[in-house]
Amino acid sequence: MRLFNTLTQQIEPLAPRDNRVTLYVCGITPYDTTHLGHAFINAIYDTLVRYLRWRGLDVTYVQNVTDIDDDILRKARELEMPWDALGKRETERYLTDLRALNVEMPTYYVAATDTIPEMIALVQALVEKGLAYERDGWVYYAVERDPQFGQLAEAAGYHGYTAWLETANERGNNPNDARKQNPLDFVLWQARQEEDEPAWPSPWGPGRPGWHIECSAMSTKYLGNQIDIHGGGADLMFPHHTCEIAQSENATGVRPFVRRWMHGAMVRMDGEKMSKSLGNLVLVRNLLAEGYSPDAIRALLLSHHYREEWEYSEEEMRANAALVARLSAAARLAEGDMSGAAEAELGLRQARLEFTAALEDDFHTERALAVLDRLAQTVLVDHSAPCAAGLKELAQQVMGFTLSATPVQQGSEAAEATQPAG
């Protein structure tokens, strides 16, 4: 298998070691609900894990939930509810939406607040190595002391200090913090400011971790000092993942921290990135309430290459509802007469080869989905039970479709959903 590595800007062999693959994906900060951008990231990595396991690899998949963060504290104050209760509520809503889309739970689903001792240990290591400093109970990473800082940022198109600082400021950095030696230095540990803020004891006084150190601690705790694949949204390339590299490699001494950086593209609505701040959200639960099946929503997500930015449209949603209806109708024929297997074998073998080649080549799920659709159309014409059985295996085990009864379709696609296209 070959995947695009954001750090090198090249498609490179995955090269599993000892038939094992480790995967870490940055999850949500749980203070609001699940939109298609979240669902896209999760469907992509869920399908990747399914595929690798289908190919016989042993995959350990870790995803985090950032359950302590400035945004959670802000939102909790607005709602006048405890911060941890808000985090638990929104996490459960998020997981409910993902379960509806048949997204399986990671091997480890880790809350940041369960890994505080590991975070403190990493911060201490960076302080002892002279790469971090403490001021008034706050600890910062000193970017100027790290000559390798920023390699991922440069690869991702953020060129030079000025661009780094501008982007970091847009994404939570405070350049006017008087405690900093450099405006770009980022927080590893922050002191408690208000009595009602959550805090944990540390060598620098009561406080809580910075955002970036959380993922370094959680990934190394469960996957070791080097990860095969690190995933997340493209908006995390800088500063989050750039800072992760700096922290992890300098704290542990292991380079590279990540063998393959795999970033999912942004989902857009009305010409803008879909985001909570803009409010231009398409919610999973709303699409389900409109009558679209979980399989239809999953097909919409997988009909785009993971590195391709795309814009939501109702027309495309309806087209994918029709597609999964064809898949479901074809798969039901797997229970029929298995005679004619010899005649079907060649076509099924060719479909499997094309399907596998699409996913081996930088994980083109949209091409794999097109192969399944063509196979389904053939099955609906010739009623080949062997081909239907092969289709059912690929669609369920790899692509994650349930192929359950499809609810009433939206619009004119209802009458023609089970008919071959073209």
- State the pLDDT at residue 99: 96
What average pLDDT score do residues 1-12 get? 98
Higher-pLDDT residue of 199 and 336 is 199
Asked whether residue 97 carries a pLDDT value surpassing 90, the answer given is: yes
Predicted confidence at residue 345, as pLDDT, reads 74
183 has a pLDDT exceeding 80: yes
Q: Is 2 helix (H, G, I), strand (E, B) or coil?
A: strand
Q: pLDDT value at position 340?
A: 57
- Say which residue the tokens 């399986």 belong to: 104
The structure tokens listed for 376 are 């389904």
Q: What does the alpha-carbon distance between residue 9 and residue 173 come to, in Å, rounded to a whole number?
A: 27
184-231 pLDDT, tens per residue? 999 999 999 988 899 999 999 999 999 999 999 999 999 999 999 999
- 């540390």: which residue's tokens? 202
**What was the pLDDT predicted at 337?**
67
**Better pLDDT: 280 or 223:** 223
CA atoms of 167 and 172, how far apart (whole Å): 9
Model pLDDT, residue 279: 74
Please name every residue paired with 23 in a beta bridge, in sequence order, or none if there are none. 61, 229
pLDDT number for residue 61: 98
Q: Roughly what angle, to the nearest 10 degrees, separates helices 294-302 and 314-332?
A: 110
Beta bridge partners of 76: none
Q: What is the mean pLDDT of residues 318-342?
A: 86
415 pLDDT band, cuts 50/70/90, is very low
d(CA 170, CA 174): 9
Angle subtended at Cα 243 by Cα 301 and Cα 200, rounded to the nearest 5 degrees? 100
Q: Provide the pLDDT for residue 410.
A: 39
Q: What pLDDT is attached to residue 405?
A: 57
pLDDT in tens, 113-148: 999 999 999 999 999 999 999 999 999 999 999 999
Output the pLDDT for position 339: 60
pTM over 0.85? The answer is yes
